[in-house]
């Protein structure tokens, strides 16, 4: 089995994350319940003729993938693996609205073509003329981890050398309204700085694209080593400590080996207690961090967590804004990410310093 390294990282999010040399230096704090991602200048990356048919999610995915590939110095990866929870929402909404508004007549092709979940992976491949393995995982809040797991297995088994892996989701106006109506999104505006104190149902919703170039060939530019990924569609709170210990044991580790636990707290009073099982339990003496007060919640927000973990391991610094407790470590060797959404689709991702 070959090791797996993260060669490059790229993020487009509600924070200023496009500049690869910066690391949450210029934080944006919001007072809202929906956070649109900060747009880079798409024209710098995508020709206007191609961009005119792309909704924001596609543009974010294409640009984040380009940033990751450029940073790694790879022109064409062996495979492109994408994760998305809700796919190309804006074009889906446009297409379905047109069906309703025009009584199932006068349907135009563009939103239909662009509304499929694999549009982002397809557009990246088209532009790179990459005819290799191209797969899109759509599996709610483990969509990104599903893509990551696929890449990990291919690289460990030496079936590929360089794989582009990413997660992307976009906001759609109609879906956002529906999510507010059913209180998946908080009814009140919340300060980024006080997300965990909100004590209300629902989340602060957002969008973003996080792409990574994974390889089984180490070089000095690598951010971290991906040790393992595990996905659980259902997992009871009571079984969480055993599940994480089994995961760590299978990698010949114990909770004491973990230098930093990064959790996906999203301020939802009904489901953040899953994280507290670990933060107040077997990891109570471990340094802890969280990030969704910066990135917002969306089905592939854990991609932002993965970006954060890689940055921490490479720079060996933990930004003040993401600290969850007062435990301090002088060095970050192993970082464990735990994420779930609505108490379902749990994931553990384990990284090690290179």
Partner 1 sequence: MEELKQELKAKIIDQLNLEDINVEDINDNDPLFGDGLGLDSIDALELIVMLDKDYGIKLTDPKEGRAIFESIDVMAKYISEHRSK
Binding site for partner 1 (CB under 8 A): 48-49, 51-53, 102, 105-110, 113
Nearer to partner 1, 109 or 331 (CB): 109
Whichever of 152 and 170 has its CB closer to partner 1, that residue is 170
Nearest-angstrom CA–CA distance, 153 and 249: 19
Q: In the complex, what is the shortest distance from the CB of residue 178 to partner 1, in angstroms, rounded to a whole number?
A: 25
Strand (E) or helix (H) holding 120: helix 119-128
CA 342 to the chain's CA centroid: 16
Task: State in angstroms the smallest separation of the CB of 113 from partner 1.
Answer: 7
Judge residue 225's burial from the number of C-beta atoms within 10 Å of its C-beta, 0-12 exposed, 13-18 middle, 19 or more buried.
middle
Residue 303 sits at φ, ψ, to 5 deg, of -65, -35
Helix (H, G, I), strand (E, B) or coil at 298: coil
Whichever of 91 and 145 has its CB closer to partner 1, that residue is 91
φ, ψ of residue 225 to 5 degrees: the values are -105, 130
Q: Name the DSSP letter for residue 200.
A: B
CB of 2 to partner 1, least distance (A): 42
| Shortest Cβ 49–partner 1 spacing (Å) | 6
* Closest approach of partner 1 to the CB of residue 67, in Å: 22
Looking up tokens 């557009």 gives 123
What lies within 8 Å, CB to CB, of 113 at 6+ separation is 119
Kindly state the smallest distance separating residue 111's Cβ from partner 1, in Å: 10
**CB 62, CB 127: distance < 8 Å:** yes
Find the radius of gyration of the CA atoms of the chain: 19
Question: Is 100 or 109 the residue whose CB approaches partner 1 more closely?
Answer: 109
Cβ burial, residue 187 (10 Å; 0-12/13-18/19+): exposed
Kindly tell me which of 96 and 153 has the beta carbon lying closer to partner 1: 96
Please, what is the minimum distance in Å from the beta carbon of residue 91 to partner 1?
A: 12
Please, what is the minimum distance in Å from the beta carbon of residue 136 to partner 1?
Answer: 21
| Nearer to partner 1 among residue 61 and residue 167 (C-beta) | 61
Bridge pairing between strands 162-169 and 208-215:
antiparallel
Q: Judged by CB, which is closer to partner 1: 85, or 111?
A: 111
Nearest partner of 237 among 197, 178, 278, 206, judged by Cα: 278
In the complex with partner 1, the residue whose CB is nearer, 51 or 153, is 51
SS3 332: coil
As given in the structure block, the two tokens for residue 235 are 């997992």
Please, what is the angle between helix 302-315 and helix 143-156, to 10°?
50
Q: How far is the CB of 11 from partner 1 (least distance, A)?
A: 25
Give the integer Cα–Cα distance in Å for 290 and 308: 9
Q: Which is nearer to partner 1, 91 or 268 (CB)?
A: 91
Q: Provide, rounded to whole angstroms, the least separation between the CB of residue 38 and partner 1.
A: 19
What length is written for the chain?
A: 354
Residue whose CB is less far from partner 1, 28 or 107: 107
> Tokens at residue 63, please?
């640009």
């Amino acid at each position: 089995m070959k090791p797996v390294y993260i060669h490059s990282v790229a993020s487009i999010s509600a924070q200023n994350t496009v500049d690869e040399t910066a690391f949450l230096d210029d934080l944006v704090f919001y007072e809202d319940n929906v956070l649109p991602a900060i747009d880079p200048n798409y024209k710098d990356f995508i020709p206007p003729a191609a961009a005119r048919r792309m909704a924001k999610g596609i543009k974010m995915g294409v640009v984040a993938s380009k940033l990751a590939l450029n940073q790694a110095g790879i022109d064409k990866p062996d495979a492109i693996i994408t994760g998305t929870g809700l796919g190309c929402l804006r074009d889906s909404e446009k297409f379905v609205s047109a069906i309703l508004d025009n009584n199932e007549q006068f349907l135009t092709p563009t939103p239909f073509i662009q509304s499929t979940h694999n549009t982002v992976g397809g557009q990246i491949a088209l532009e790179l003329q990459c005819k290799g393995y191209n797969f899109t995982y759509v599996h709610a809040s483990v969509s990104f981890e599903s893509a990551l797991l696929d890449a990990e297995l291919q690289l460990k088994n030496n079936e590929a050398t360089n794989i582009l892996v990413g997660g992307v989701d976009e906001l759609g106006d109609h879906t956002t309204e529906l999510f507010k109506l059913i209180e998946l999104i908080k009814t009140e505006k919340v300060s980024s700085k006080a997300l965990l104190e909100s004590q209300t149902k629902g989340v602060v919703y957002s969008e973003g694209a996080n792409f990574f170039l994974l390889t089984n060939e180490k070089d000095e530019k690598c951010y971290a080593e991906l040790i393992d990924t595990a996905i659980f569609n259902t997992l009871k709170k009571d079984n969480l400590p055993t599940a994480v210990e089994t995961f760590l044991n299978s990698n010949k580790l114990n909770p004491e080996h973990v230098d930093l636990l990064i959790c996906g707290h999203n301020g939802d009073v009904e489901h953040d207690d899953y994280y507290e099982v670990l933060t107040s339990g077997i990891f109570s003496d471990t340094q802890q961090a969280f990030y969704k007060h910066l990135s917002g919640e969306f089905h592939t927000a854990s991609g932002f967590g993965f970006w954060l973990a890689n940055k921490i391991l490479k720079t060996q610094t933990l930004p003040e804004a993401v600290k969850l407790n007062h435990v301090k470590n002088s060095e970050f060797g192993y970082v464990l990410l735990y994420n779930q959404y609505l108490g379902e689709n749990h994931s553990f991702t384990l990284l090690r310093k290179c």
